[in-house]
Amino acid sequence: MLDVRRVRTELEVLKAGLARKGADPTELDRVAELDRRRRELGDRRDSVRARINAISKEVGRLRRSGDDEEAEARMAESRSFGDEEKALAAEADEVGAELRDLLLRIPNVPADDAPDGAGEHDNVVVRHGGPDPDAYGEHQRVPHWDVGASLGILDLERGAKVAGSMFPMYRGAGARLLRALTSWALDRHADAFEEVRPPSLVRSATMVASGQLPKFADDAYHLERDDLWAIPTAEVPLTSLGAGEILAEGDLPVRLTAATPCYRREAGSAGRDTRGLIRVHEFDKVEILAYTTPEQAPAMHAELLERAEALVVELGLAYRIIDICTGDLGQSHARSFDIEVYAPGSELWLEVSSVSWFGDYQARRADLRYRRDADARIDHVHTLNGSALAWPRIWAALVEAGRQPDATVVLPEVLAPWLGGATTIGSPR
């Protein structure tokens, strides 16, 4: 969430930032009013509390002097002030809760260097890499759902039978490919990132910390009986790993990686790109995430993007990197780059990674802090994360781009150690 102290001192700057993102900047006026009201109630409560303490001392003096009648009168006055203190405290808590709820719903402001734009059509293509998308042959322009069905490696019908539509089922070499991709990516990050296997179900507070709640409740799977949520990404539990703790500056940056299933209702995507693996309710993903100081954040953002891009390069896929404009940035995001790969059979650019910097927005929600070495001041960390990578669309692009004229699929040699040395799916016809 935004720092309420900045609302007091930089109101117009923050309003301008929200306007760049297409959000309603006038909500900050309500934040400022609630903050003023809460502080005013707190001051009045403290004043009444001080009066009660003064009366208590006076009652003690009167008791010692034997003036019990006056002491009782002063005690009655103290009880009256006590009722007023409780009423002020309750009102302050109520205003504080309304203020927090509003702050949880207001998006992060974009970074100064994020490109301006109203929506996804204003995103900026930074660079292309890999093969020329126009150079793929006709044998590669078969959609992965047809390739997968013909080779027996993707069974969408039975996936729908056991779980419903948009729950894919991988079989045989298709399932092994998914497992190989996960192991390969985790090993690529093992040089600098601690591997974590977090829970796949989390508390509501954990969802709030990363910005998933309250805004994206309709897109998440909620187990009401236990008040637990199926994670939409490993970012959610990893962000809260250090929640409520104070880290030492010397321990930063903290680098974490995790492979988890991810669950998303895709409530706002009905009828949009729902064939095959392009948009699914459950998928596997490897996440890389970091806590940093503000000074470390730019270099870490570049490192996460470099790692995600390097994986796509190793897989030999055509790709492009997109600088996300202000109007297309997510709720919690200050700056983001997407990596898209080209799937020749689907004839689509598919997002396979989003590498993002959140400033201290998530850390304030999660109470994730560190102590500065120089002056022992306690401040909030910055959080950053990236998909490295999300597998359904990578799987689709590999199967389409790797399809041969004889209808077999050849996979990148880089995956051979995790595939038992075999890199061909199917038998020549």
Q: What is the DSSP string of 155-222?
A: -HHHHHHHH-TT---B-THHHHHHHHHHHHHHHHHTTT-EE----SEEEHHHHHHHT-TTTTGGGSEE
What does residue 320 show for φ and ψ, rounded to 5 degrees? Answer: -145, 155
Terminal CA-CA length for the chain: 58
Distance CA 287, CA 366 (A): 19
Secondary structure class of 131 (helix, strand, coil): coil
Structure-block tokens of residue 178: 């998914």
Q: Do 120-425 and 4-105 have the same topology in CATH?
A: no
For residue 38, the number of C-alpha atoms closer than 13 Å in the C-beta half-sphere is: 16
Give the mean pLDDT of the chain.
95
Structure-block tokens of residue 2: 């935004």
Task: Please count the other Cβ atoms lying within 10 Å of the Cβ belonging to residue 169.
Answer: 16
- Strands 194-195, 254-263: pairing kind: parallel
Q: How far is CA 269 from CA 103, 110, 166, 298, in A?
A: 27, 25, 11, 33
* Residue 246, amino acid: I
The pLDDT of 123-142, averaged and rounded, is 97
Does 271 score more than 70 pLDDT?
no
How many Å is the maximal CA-CA distance in the chain? 109
* Residue 420, amino acid: G
Torsion of CA 34, 38, 43, 44, to 10 degrees: 100
Q: What is the pLDDT of residue 200?
A: 98
Does 376 score more than 70 pLDDT?
yes
The pLDDT of 154-170, averaged and rounded, is 97
The pLDDT of 147-170, averaged and rounded, is 97
The DSSP call for residue 403 is B
Does 274 score more than 80 pLDDT?
no
Residue 311 · residue 185 · CB < 8 Å: yes
Q: What is the pLDDT of residue 81?
A: 87
Domain boundaries, the chain: 4-105, 120-425
Q: What is the pLDDT of residue 267?
A: 66
Q: What is the pLDDT of residue 380?
A: 98
Q: What is the pLDDT of residue 82?
A: 87
Residue 50 sits at the vertex; the CA angle it makes with 46 and 53, to the nearest 5 degrees, is 140
Does 105 score more than 90 pLDDT?
yes
Tokens 């470390």 belong to residue: 296
Task: Give domain 120-425's CATH number out of 3.40.50.1000, 3.30.1200.10, 3.30.930.10, 1.10.3720.10.
Answer: 3.30.930.10
Does 270 score more than 70 pLDDT?
no
Does 232 score more than 90 pLDDT?
yes
Residue 411 · residue 421 · CB < 8 Å: no
Domain 4-105 CATH class label: mainly alpha
Q: What is the pLDDT of residue 129?
A: 98
What does residue 298 show for φ and ψ, rounded to 5 degrees? Answer: -60, -45
Catalytic (active-site) positions: 264, 279, 351, 354, 393
Does 70 score more than 70 pLDDT?
yes
Residue 261 · residue 283 · CB < 8 Å: yes
The predicted model scores a pTM of 0.93
Between 26-40, 55-69, 144-158, 398-412, the lowest mean confidence (pLDDT) is in 55-69
* Per-residue burial over 109-140, b = 16 or more CB atoms within 10 Å of its CB, e = otherwise: bbbeebbebeeeeebeeeeeebbebeebeeeb
The pLDDT of 376-400, averaged and rounded, is 98
What are residue 154's DSSP bridge partners?
A: 170
Mutual angle of helices 156-163 and 144-151, in 10-degree steps: 90
Mutual angle of helices 297-315 and 173-189, in 10-degree steps: 140
Between 48-52, 188-192, 234-238, the lowest mean confidence (pLDDT) is in 48-52
pLDDT band at 266 (very low <50, low <70, confident <90, very high): confident
The pLDDT of 308-313, averaged and rounded, is 98
In which order are the strands placed within the sheet that holds 201-203? Answer: 201-203, 228-230, 221-223
The pLDDT of 243-265, averaged and rounded, is 97
Q: Is the link from the previous residue into 104 a cis peptide, with omega within 30 of 0?
A: no
Secondary structure class of 419 (helix, strand, coil): coil
Structure-block tokens of residue 216: 């994206």
